[in-house]
């Protein structure tokens, strides 16, 4: 069943510090050009003094301005992020405070499915908006990956960037809406992408020289891609089932910006040309859950999609999960 929700506004924030591929090569002791050739990332943004909540609040202000709304119009704030500013309280409450809304009573909570957090949050809250539970909702993905990078892991260290994106969701009075959504998780790959430390299994008080790598990001990218790429064709079939649509009807595919190589292969599997596939990785890197909404933000601002266009938001995440949404923008 179609859910009558609309992305009314969108905004972003990028940290002040720009880190080039040449700088990354220098940091990891690689030959100039190695990291760009391997990852497809020419530059990315890393935080200096910015926090997750600060970036999220700045993106939210932009989204509200774009939507033509003010704080009083918002009745729910959701953080759809794979990283946290602190274990408690949730990111969304810290963003609310950063916005100066600490006495507002606006409902705040987090949704975390790592790189798919934005897609999952959008999917879940759409039911509540469609049913009238909430009127206008801020969904914010604010990610700082740079603090958790293991610079000894050449494969993963060259991929990531920091940034935030926010959207305002409201009930649609026109053709805009979510036409289909689907998610699958295959925990056989749960330990292929992880940060083992920081929770109750390896508590922060156990941080030591011996355990320090457990508190940094660890990934077997090849194994993840091998697993997920085999599953994507059947996943797409289930996502499109009962929609009366085919890939030819999709005006723009907005994928998770995992890596240049991965997106190239996914694009070929989907059989879509480059004009219908939003690729922004060279200037942003992989911004975890903010990757998909950042690509969406760029596609809107560049005029590559218009109201009424049909979009496919598609990504994978640690878990290993695959998730997607077909929506009419």
pTM over 0.85: yes
Q: Above 90 in pLDDT, residue 154? A: no
Minimum mean pLDDT among 16-20, 220-224, 284-288: which range? 220-224
Q: What confidence tier does 156 reach under pLDDT thresholds 50, 70, 90? A: confident
**Exposure on the CB side of residue 25, measured as CA atoms within 13 A:** 16
CB count in 10 Å sphere of residue 76: 20
pLDDT for position 217: 93
Domain 5-173 has CATH 3.60.15.10: no
Query: What percentage of the chain exceeds 70 in pLDDT?
Result: 100
Rounded-to-integer distance, Cα 61 and Cα 41, Å: 28
pLDDT for position 47: 98
Asked if 56 and 98 touch (Cβ cutoff 8 Å), the reply is yes
Mean local confidence (pLDDT), 265-292: 96
Class of domain 178-328: alpha beta
Tell me the catalytic residues. Answer: 115, 256, 286
CB count in 10 Å sphere of residue 118: 35
CB count in 10 Å sphere of residue 231: 14
- Structure tokens, 61: 């202000």
Domain segments of the chain as ranges = 5-173, 178-328
* Angle, helices 91-98/52-67, rounded to nearest 10 degrees: 70
- Structure tokens, 207: 């941080």
Matching fold, domains 5-173 and 178-328:
yes
pLDDT for position 276: 98
What pLDDT, in 10s, does the model give residues 163-194? 999 999 999 999 999 999 999 999 999 999 99
Q: What confidence tier does 268 reach under pLDDT thresholds 50, 70, 90? A: very high
């Amino acid at each position: 069943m179609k859910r009558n929700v609309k992305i009314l506004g969108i905004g972003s924030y990028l940290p002040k510090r720009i880190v080039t591929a040449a700088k990354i090569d220098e940091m990891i002791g690689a030959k100039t050009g190695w990291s760009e050739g391997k990852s497809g990332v020419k530059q990315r943004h890393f935080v200096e003094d910015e926090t997750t909540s600060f970036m999220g609040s700045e993106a939210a202000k932009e989204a509200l301005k774009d939507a033509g709304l003010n704080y009083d119009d918002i009745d729910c704030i959701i953080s759809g992020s794979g990283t946290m500013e602190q274990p408690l309280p949730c990111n969304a409450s810290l963003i609310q405070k950063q916005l100066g809304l600490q006495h507002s009573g606006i409902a705040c909570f987090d949704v975390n499915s790592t790189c798919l957090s934005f897609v999952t949050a959008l999917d879940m809250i759409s039911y509540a908006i469609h049913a009238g539970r909430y009127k206008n909702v801020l969904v914010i993905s604010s990610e700082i990956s740079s603090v958790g990078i293991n610079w000894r892991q050449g494969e993963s260290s060259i991929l990531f960037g920091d940034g935030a994106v926010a959207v305002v969701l409201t009930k649609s009075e026109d053709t805009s809406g979510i036409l289909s959504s689907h998610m699958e998780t295959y925990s056989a790959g749960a330990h292929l992408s992880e940060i083992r430390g920081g929770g109750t299994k390896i508590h922060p008080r156990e941080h030591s020289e011996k355990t320090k790598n457990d508190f940094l990001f660890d990934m077997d990218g090849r194994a993840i891609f091998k697993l997920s790429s085999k599953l994507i064709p059947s996943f797409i079939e289930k996502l499109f089932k009962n929609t009366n649509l085919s890939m030819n009807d999709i005006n723009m595919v907005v994928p998770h910006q995992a890596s240049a190589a991965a997106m190239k292969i996914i694009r070929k599997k989907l059989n879509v040309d480059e004009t219908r596939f939003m690729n922004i990785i060279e200037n942003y890197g992989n911004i975890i859950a903010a990757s998909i909404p950042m690509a969406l933000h760029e596609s809107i601002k560049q005029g590559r999609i218009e109201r009424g266009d049909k979009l496919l938001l598609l990504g994978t995440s640690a878990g290993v999960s695959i998730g997607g949404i077909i929506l009419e923008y």
